[in-house]
Amino acid sequence: MEMESVGRCQKLDIQELEEIRNDAYENALVYKEKMKEFHDKLITRKQFSIGQKVLLYDSTLKIFTVEIQSEETQKCFKVNGQRLKPFYENFQTHTIEEIDLEEPRT
């Protein structure tokens, strides 16, 4: 008689563990979806036009491919679009005034 009650108790415990595991799995999916939405909001959408000069940095990833053409060699190649920045030709530097600080008098 005890074997049957112990067996039923173990069966209930296993079912309860299964439910807890399923709940944890569903919670993990919800968390991943929310984090993906949050991350996608932070991605900046860049608009480039044909003929626009761009700067390319660290183009090892090939996720969002964009075809660009080199100005010197006229070769076309595909790069990751997230690794492009607009190039500003007439970027002017500003002069900075330097002020020497003196030691306080005692």
Give the separation between CA 54 and CA 83, rounded to whole angstroms: 10
Per-residue pLDDT in tens (0 to 9) along the chain, 106 residues: 588 888 888 999 999 999 999 999 999 999 999 999 999 888 777 787 888 888 777 656 566 668 888 888 888 888 777 778 878 777 666 777 888 888 888 7
**CB–CB of 57/85 below 8 Å?**
yes
Domain ranges, ordered by start, for the chain: 1-43, 46-89
What count of other Cβ atoms lies within 10 Å of the Cβ of residue 70? 10
pTM: 0.43
CA distance 37 to 39: 5
Please give the distance of CA 87 from its chain centroid, rounded to a whole number. 23
The CA-CA-CA angle for residues 38, 42, 44, to 5°, reads 145
